[in-house]
Amino acid sequence: MPSAVPASAVMAPTWRPRAAAYRLLVAAAAAAAVTAEMLIGPPFRVLSHFAIQSNIAVALVLTFSARRAWATRRPVPAALTGAVVLYVTMSAVVYHLFLTETSPPFSITGAPGTHHLWQSVAGHLLHTAVPIAALLDWLLLTAPAHLHLRQAPAWLLYPLAYLAFSLTRGELLPSGAADRYLYPFLDVARHGYKHVLANALLLGLSFYALAILLVAVDHARPNPIRRRTKTGFRLRPPVG
């Protein structure tokens, strides 16, 4: 009879120093970009951005994942990795589609041009390099077929909580504050709640569609870390 015990329960994880080094490098890049933004702009404003929060999540999860890969321990739960990849990818997509040509120019720090080189490097890391690197880590350094459609609704809880936080923050700040609403498509003072909630609904549907796409890709991609097992003996042709 086939065993009901999965192979991962009886096969010890392998030592993966290259994966650990790559993840530490990506985590360091995300942490450096967040730190640079916080040194330039007000920390509370910087930390209130979705891109900053998603990059912090990437730094934490990849650091923890690198430690497990180096210590020959089992990988972090796939649902956690999938959620982080979803958030940082969606943040990059929103930035490149809606925030690169805004007027006034979109700025996490609220002071565009103050430290142009630092802000340019940090912006490219936050919105391009780190999301691509996180996607490559998921595609090339993790086992497939561990994500499921039932996880997608749970992944949407954080974007929903962020929407509530953003709108509440805007209501609590003075009406004349320049950073009352951090994203133009969530600016209630300019567009009103009806328009903002419609934008939020479209973003939520986009989040869910991207989550479904990640699950589909996860079940269609090959296994990049398949290992060859050794039994310790060789089969020989029968005699006679």
Domain boundary assignment for the chain: 13-220
Is the whole-model pTM more than 0.85? yes
Written as one letter, the residue type at 53 is Q
Per-residue confidence in pLDDT tens, the chain, 240 aa: 555 555 454 455 678 899 999 999 999 999 999 999 999 999 999 999 999 999 999 999 999 999 999 998 899 999 999 999 999 999 999 999 999 988 788 899 887 767 788 889 999 999 999 999 999 999 999 999 999 999 999 999 999 999 999 999 999 999 888 789 999 999 999 999 999 999 999 999 999 999 999 999 999 999 987 654 444 444 455 554
| Nearest 10 degrees: Cα torsion 217, 222, 226, 229 | 130
Q: Mark 146-170 as b/e (b = at least 16 C-beta within 10 Å).
A: bbeeebbeebbebbeebbeebbebb
Enter the tokens of residue 193: 């709640």
Instruction: Report yes or no: 142 and 78 within 8 Å, Cβ to Cβ.
Output: yes
Q: How many CB atoms lie within 10 A of CB 129?
A: 17
Written as one letter, the residue type at 116 is H
Instruction: Report yes or no: 57 and 2 within 8 Å, Cβ to Cβ.
Output: no
